[in-house]
Amino acid sequence: MAGKIFYRERRKVGEKEKKPRFKLVAVAGADLKFYSEHLRRKELEEIAGAVGAELVLLQAARETDEEVEVKE
């Protein structure tokens, strides 16, 4: 089974800024060690291709979304 790399877009980085736009969230099923939390999409794609992992983009909640109620 190939591993999975979970990542999401950073909130405080704009479209035209020259900073990495993605934040690494988790790695499952692959023996990887990351030394950086913020990466560019091209870097994520190259790493995933080299180790045979699948990239999974997580949808971050927006500030305008309603809070999710926790069931007790």
Q: How do residues 17-36 score in pLDDT, each as one tens digit? A: 777 788 888 888 888 888 88
Residue 44 included in any domain: yes
The residue range of the domain holding 20 is 4-57
Q: Which two tokens stand for residue 19?
A: 């900073």
Residue, of 6 and 11, whose pLDDT is higher: 6
pTM for this model (two decimals):
0.69
Residue 46 has pLDDT above 90, yes or no: yes
Residue 60 has pLDDT above 70, yes or no: no
Residue 63 included in any domain: no
Query: How far apart, in whole angstroms, are the C-alpha atoms of residue 32 and residue 42?
Result: 17
Total domain count for the chain? 1
pLDDT confidence tier of residue 13, bands split at 50, 70 and 90: low
Q: Which residues does 13 contact at the CB level (< 8 Å), separation at least 6? A: 19, 20, 21
Residue 47 included in any domain: yes
